Amino acid sequence: MVATAATSAFFPVTSSPDSSDPKNKKLGSRSTNLGGIKLKPSSSSGSLQVKANAQASPKVNGTTAVTTPVEVFKNEDGVSSPPPRTFINQLPDWSMLLAAITTIFLAAEKHWMMLDWKPRRPDMLIDPFGIGRIVQDGLVFRQNFSIRSYEIGADCTASIETLMNHLQETAINHCRSAGLLGNGFGATPEMCKKNLIWVVTRMQVVVDRYPTWDDVVQVDTWVSASGKNGTRRDWLVSDIKTGEVLTRASSVWVMMNKLTRRLSKIPEEVRGEIEPYFMNSDPVVAEDSRKLVKLDDSTTKYVQKGLTPRWGDLDVNQHVNNVKYIGWILESAPLSILENQELSSMTLEYRRECGRDNVLQSLTAVSGNGAGNLVNINGYECQHLLRLEDGSEIVRGRTQWRPKNAKSFGNVNQIPAESA
């Protein structure tokens, strides 16, 4: 379109009425008024001079506007012809050419600014488009997140579900940035060929401090081997302004056949895809080897029944997203703990998947010092179970709580270096 405008500016095209049209032929030399066009004979030649006179002067904002007569020439047969060619009226339309050039330069400038974007203030996002990048010899993926107003809870801090969603998002984007994202949700191309998907079996999270609204957090994640048929993924969440570590998390993942819904060994083709991205390092969270106890109706008095998945709780693998389980687990936690304490750490073991038509029950037992006093200032430890109505276990969990605004009990200042 721009090229067409520029071409038409240099090569103006003129058109004349068809001389064979009898409607355009005028006989005689008398004056004729056609729709406001007054014809009268020219005194200097046999041609007719036509002057356009408006029937009524137009008004602009209530004021009569003065119009300039337009000269149009006709030959002796009454056929209109363009005015004589002069140097002035043969010049190109420079205004259209200038507009075309300006449009091209503005588009180029906008494109260049998008490519060369840099933060104007130190507190602005380093990763403005949220796509993340590979760092530390190509083994660590880093992505920034701004805490939105709809991601904070009653305490004006980000919820645990928000933090877990950030962890899950960076895991998927890590696969995509490494070129390992096939047609599945986090599955590599070879996994897609074999109908394999990733499922999490264990998750440990330690929260040293919860970010608040408008904070920008930096999430680093990397992958390591875990046994013969599993992988371990670690996360480190820090404040982008101060570098303070806010959250540490470690998880174990295995493969499942999405058709048979059974666990699977890692095929050699898949192992060849993912092993180059393994980082030889220790877990960022020390493994809590304590056994998670099984709860029943006789060992707990906090039970929430009738929990049902909604359509929006399902992921692309047609089972409930693992982050949703955390919210269900906390449904049965005592309200006095939720009001006076904050979640400082949790350990989850995922036993089986949950589908859309399942109905669940959430059980919580308070243990440790002050178990009978729900206003204890020293914190609590709770045991959790998420199960189906028939008793089948979905998730076992253990959470630790500390008084709100208490100091964190541990910290890690940097990404662990790769072990030799």
Structure token digits, residue 153: 């809870």
Rounded (10°) CA dihedral 175, 180, 183, 189: -150
List, in sequence order, the alpha helices (H) in 244-286: 268-274
C-alpha span between 285 and 247 (Å, rounded) = 10
C-alpha span between 204 and 345 (Å, rounded) = 7
Q: What is the enclosing helix (H) or strand (E) of 192?
A: helix 189-193
3-state secondary structure of 185: coil
Residue 216 DSSP symbol: E
Select which of 144, 175, 321, 354 is catalytic: 354
C-alpha span between 301 and 36 (Å, rounded) = 96
Contacts of 353 (CB under 8 A, 6+ apart): 199, 261, 319, 320, 394
Strands lying side by side in the sheet with 37-41: 33-34, 37-41, 48-52, 71-74, 80-81
Tokens 């996360």 sit on residue: 235
Q: What is the enclosing helix (H) or strand (E) of 18?
A: none
Select which of 317, 321, 322, 358 is catalytic: 317
Q: Three-state SS string across 121-145, please?
A: CCCCCCCCCCCCEEECCCCEEEEEE
Contact status, residue 233 vs residue 173, Cβ threshold 8 Å:
no
Distances (CA, A) of 35 to 32, 264, 295: 10, 87, 96
111 is catalytic: no
354 is catalytic: yes
226, 217, 248: which is closest to 235 by C-alpha?
248
317 is catalytic: yes
3-state secondary structure of 329: helix
C-alpha triplet 196, 175, 273: angle, nearest 5°: 60
Select which of 166, 174, 319, 384 is catalytic: 319
Helices vs strands, H then E, count in the chain: 7, 19
Residues catalogued as catalytic:
317, 319, 354
